[in-house]
Amino acid sequence: MLFNTLLLASTASATCLHGLSMFKRAEGEGVKVGTFGYGSLNGPFNWATLAVENEACKAGANQSPINIDASVTVAAEKPKLDIPKVEEVEFENLGTTIEVLANGTTSFAGADFRLVQFHMHTPSEHHVNGEYYPLEVHMVHQAVADETQLAVIALMFQVSAGESTSIIKSLSASLPAVSTPGTKIAIPGGIDFTDVLAKIESSDILQYTGSLTTPPCAEGVTFLIVKDALDISVADFNSIKSIIKFNARYIQNTLGAVNMLEVGNLAGTAQALQLPIVEKPVAVEAILTKGHTFTVTELNGLPTEIAAVVVKRRSPKYT
């Protein structure tokens, strides 16, 4: 038997910015699959090695995704989405995600944003109060006035024994056609965003300024996290997971704090970042007496054994 060797080298580059007009491919060009990935050497620990413009992945102090806890504030207003009915939309497998090219206009905080695409991460990249979700959808927008200003609406999905919500249902029949990186298909009738629009109305929306979760990890991206999860059916979830396999960047440090790769670099040294002591004010309805007992119902951060409970009574004259 003859043996031959195929030597495969890569030159293409694709990011979450794919589909944005400044990165838009020429008409007729094929789907470009990403050179980065989620393994050990092509994965998020090493993204800064893949290209010089990926420096923020290693050095940035306002990186995404993060854990959405009480420190992240509710958006002052809801984004208003206007997505016109179209005859068809393109659904692509970029290797690093599967993505639908979309059109629409979203108004938020006095500015108009153009909806460019939405793509998927499994498991979720953001956590909500420490909990992950099996799927997260990123609806990527560019400001109309300044295309470099990006806003991402992030949707969480929980597996359900029932049917998928409309955004997933609209594309589920097309999943087999995009099972291989580089493939694409047109989805006739486009995407039904009805359930997404309803969830944006009913759910809290958490807002923070972070980064692209993929190379080049550029910062200054507005994230609007829809806190309440949408439903995805078992069949659709398993189908999407079998195509994507895994594409979640690890949780980043709290906003403004040192990059996680620096946390790892300093770990175990004299300069290591230490855990803060958890201190939480507790409202007490009754007058404090000897023998008074407390029940801890919530902790800031992950659970820990209680070694000491120190009760500081505020002087009544200040209350």
Give min distance, CB of 105 to a copy of itself, in A: 33
String of contacts with a copy of itself for each residue 108-137, x by CB under 8 A? --------------xx---x-xxxx-x---
What phi, psi does 229 have (nearest 5°)? Answer: -80, 150
Complex with a copy of itself: residue 15 or 252, whichever CB lies closer: 252
Q: At closest approach, how far in Å is the CB of 223 from a copy of itself?
A: 17
- The answer to whether 78 touches 227, Cβ cutoff 8 Å, is no
Q: Which stretch binds a copy of itself (CB under 8 A): 47-55, 101-109, 137-145, 193-201?
A: 47-55
In DSSP notation, 141-206 reads EEESS-TT-EEEEEEEEEEESSPPPHHHHHHHTTGGGG-STT-EEEEET----HHHHHHHHHS-EE
Q: Which of residues 135-174 bind a copy of itself (CB under 8 A)?
A: 158-161
Closer residue to a copy of itself in complex, CB, 21/304 = 304
Q: What are phi and psi of 54, to 5 degrees?
A: -90, 15
**CA-to-CA distance for 68 and 203, rounded, in angstroms?**
14
Contacts with a copy of itself in 51-110 (CB under 8 A)?
52, 54-55, 57-58, 67, 95
In the region spanning residues 269 to 298, those forming contacts with a copy of itself, defined by CB under 8 A, are 272-285, 287-288, 294, 296
Please report, for residues 42, 43, 252, 266, 304, the alpha-carbon distance to residue 39 in angstroms, rounded to integers and kept in the order given.
5, 5, 17, 23, 32
Among residues 185 and 191, whose Cβ is nearest to a copy of itself? 185
Of 39-47, 101-109, 141-149, 201-209, which part binds a copy of itself (CB under 8 A)? 39-47
Q: Which stretch binds a copy of itself (CB under 8 A): 15-23, 42-50, 70-78, 148-156?
A: 42-50
Tokens linked to 83? 């997505």
Tell me the number of residues near a copy of itself by CB under 8 A. 107
d(C-alpha 137, C-alpha 150), whole Å: 16
213-272 residues in contact with a copy of itself (CB under 8 A) are: 233-235, 237-238, 241-242, 245-246, 250-254, 257, 260-261, 263-268, 272
Q: How far is the CB of 84 from a copy of itself (least distance, A)?
A: 33
The answer to the question of residue 32 lying near a copy of itself (CB under 8 A) is: yes
Q: How is residue 131 annotated by DSSP?
A: B
Q: Are 88 and 186 in contact (CB under 8 A)?
A: yes
The Cα 201–Cα 274 span in angstroms is 40
Q: Contacting a copy of itself (CB under 8 A), which of 27, 146, 308, 317?
A: 308
- As a whole number of angstroms, the distance between CA 235 and CA 164 comes to 9
Q: Would you give the binding string for a copy of itself spanning residues 177-216, x where CB under 8 A is met? A: ----xx----------------------------------
